[in-house]
Structure 1
Amino acid sequence: MTTAIAGLNAQARSLGHVSDNLANSQTVGFKRIDTNFQDLVTQSGPNLHAPGSVLARPTFTHSVQGTIEQSQNPLGMAIGGQGFFSVAQARGFVDGLPTFDDRQFFTRAGDFRMDRDGFLVNGANYFLQGWPVGDSGLVDRTTLEPVRVSQQVFNPIATSTIEIAANLPGVDPPATPADARTFSTQVQVYDTLGTRRAMTLTFSQTPGTPGPPRSWDMTISPDPVGGAVTIPIVFGVNGTVESFDGVTGVPGTPVEFPFLMDFGLGNQNIALNLGRFGVAQGLTQYAGTDFSLRNLQQNGVPPGAYAGLAIRDNGDVMVNYDNGQSRMIYRVPIVGFSDPDRLQRLDGAAFMRTIESGEAQVTDANSNGVGKLVVGALERSNVDIATEFTKLIVAQRAYTANTRVVTTSDEMMQETINMRR
């Protein structure tokens, strides 16, 4: 009877595991619990085996992958592999902002969203942690902190370089200045406050003897600091820049003109890049009858307002701005363990490290075999409902069989008691 009662308890535990699995079959990142039955022997030998007992112990499946499905949530993430997200748990609030538990938590539930304070939290209110990125763009891998998105403006960047690539028509020089052909192109630059300013580059033919080399004069408007400038440009027989501002350059070296502009905010250094000496890059002079602009760009950026958040496949958390710029503020790592099935389970599909699981190994996504990050997707529960129903039927039959043993044992004891009457 004692053995049968132990069997009842074991099957009840098995039924509890099945019940837990079925209840969480739709929980994001949930890992099912299987049952491992272990027998206990009281006495066993060649001539005698006494009834023992049985234990039902849980077998965890933390390392078993659930189905990864695409999600309409752009901040949702799933891990293909055995890694985990590092998360934090709020334990209180100070001045309206959460304070966090010093313990480390981990999860596979990647249904993250942005809360009102800019933190990324999942459906169980665990806060996603990442490596912060400094102003220099370097990832600080010595610190893990909750990912918080600031919706501040993108600071403007003053223009410091202008690059131009164009072809001036390869026609004979004019005999007189009145016959010279002139071409102009405008470039928009930005001052230190992010205000857009218009600058004009003008190229005028230099009168001279027909035939190569041919010369042009370049001017900049408005005038740079120090007054108007005229820069002579001489093209060689191969149509590339041979001389610039009176200096014959070494083939392959850059053709640059640094100057200062004052837009009312003080001097601003700008470098005009026109290609390379003796190379068909930047300014050229080939056959044609008109000015042909191939490329004109500058590196200034106007101020930008927050436009959205995106996460890349390598874990980079990017803030996008309406000026077309983006900034990386965090990198989401993946955490691996030597034996993830020995992690301690917590509420909300979360886990904690144990001695048996080994130390947490924090590393970049898609490296060292800890897992691949899938953005815009979620990992579903690894519970298979059909399998759980099979386990349910088996547990029910085994439980019923053990009750029959208890009933029969009780009847036998009653018969034994009746022998005295």
Structure 2
Amino acid sequence: MSYYTSLTGLKNAQTELNVIAHNIANAETTGFKKSDTAFADIVSSSVITDPALTVGIGSRVSKINQEFSLGPIEQTGSALDLALDGEGFFTVRNPQSGQTEYTRAGGFTVDGQGFLKNAQNARLQVFPVNNGVVDTASLQSVQIPATNAAGSAYASVVVNSDGHVVATYDDGSNAELGVVAVANFIAPDGLKQMGSATWQSTGKSGMATYGQPGTGVLGGLMSGSLERSNVDIAEELVELISAQRYFQANAKAIDTATQISQTVINLRN
């Protein structure tokens, strides 16, 4: 029994070390959210077991929690670097798979077709604007026309603090292309991690609800800035030392159980 109990501890310690290593490896990943490991005990009992004599048989990983606290905001000066200073996620769509994904990494660029995309080529989603009215019931990829109605060439694009995407042309005219759509979830820790600091909705997270930046509980939009990882290196190193001690203690318990078993075998011989 002691072997199995300590073995569960070793496995759990390895899982915790893996989570901590993943956090540390992504300490410089834009928009990354750290995780932590939660454990629960395992108890062996039956309906006739005396509660005073119940013996535990180890531990298990009950959950690996994602922590969506705000990371430090870094100013970059780039007009298409975006950060949210509160709750919510940027909404992007993968042009190959057509899947909708969510991210806190707001580094966008303009591709050859005029779409605003991130490093994974997923296109930023916005609410269309019709005659000055924002249509929050639909989403579309924001695309910058190469020329305006007068034939002037595209010059630059900016995203205002209220999420409005505005393109400027050589003749000095502006064209509003949409409003950045910010998604929120009832249970964001239920989102499925897809890598590259992106997530997809699941049954545990609930369906996304959308709104404009700065409305309700949604964070305001900061142009020219990026949200860094929320990993605290000092905290992770302390957790790493604790996990190592946890692993060593369980390994020592197995070693002690082995010595006791060997002693009993020698007595019988």
Q: Same fold (TM over 0.5)?
A: yes
Determine if contact 2:41/2:56 at 8 Å carries over to the other structure.
Answer: no
Alignment of 1:94-243 (within 5 A): 100-101=97-98, 103-134=99-130, 136-152=131-147, 154-156=148-150
CA deviation profile, 1:285-333 (whole Å, cap 9, x unmatched)? xxxxxxxxxxxxxxxxxx5321111111111111101222101011112
- Pick the aligned partner of 2:53 from 48, 55, 58: 48
Q: Which runs of 5+ in 1 are unaligned?
A: 92-99, 157-302
Which structure is higher in strand share?
1
SS, match of residue 84 in structure 2: strand
Distance 2:51 2:149 in 1: 85
Distance 1:415 1:129 in 2: 68
- Pick the aligned partner of 1:347 from 192, 195, 219: 195
- Pick the aligned partner of 2:221 from 364, 368, 373: 373
Alignment of 1:258-273 (within 5 A): none
CA gap 1:333/1:119 in 2 versus in 1, 3 angstroms: same
SS, match of residue 398 in structure 1: helix
- Pick the aligned partner of 2:64 from 58, 70, 75: 58
Residue in 2 aligned with 1:245?
none
Note if 1:396 corresponds to 2:250. no
What's the CA shift for 1:51?
3.2
What's the CA shift for 1:108?
0.7
Q: TM-score, normalised by structure 2?
A: 0.92
SS, match of residue 85 in structure 1: strand
Q: TM-score, normalised by structure 1?
A: 0.60
Residue in 1 aligned with 2:30?
28
Note if 1:363 corresponds to 2:200. no
Q: What fraction of aligned residue pairs are identical, expressed as a percent?
A: 35
CA gap 1:337/1:47 in 2 versus in 1, 3 angstroms: closer
Distance 1:147 1:26 in 2: 28
Runs of 4+ residues over 4 Å off in structure 1: none
Which structure is higher in helix share?
2
Distance 1:130 1:47 in 2: 61
Distance 1:45 1:148 in 2: 69
SS, match of residue 10 in structure 2: helix
Note if 1:7 corresponds to 2:9. yes
CA deviation profile, 1:184-226 (whole Å, cap 9, x unmatched)? xxxxxxxxxxxxxxxxxxxxxxxxxxxxxxxxxxxxxxxxxxx
What's the CA shift for 1:140?
3.1
Alignment of 1:265-344 (within 5 A): 304-344=152-192
What's the CA shift for 1:37?
1.5
| Count of aligned pairs between the two proteins | 263
Question: Which amino acid in 1 is paired with 2:149?
Answer: N
Distance 1:3 1:125 in 2: 47
Distance 1:148 1:14 in 2: 43
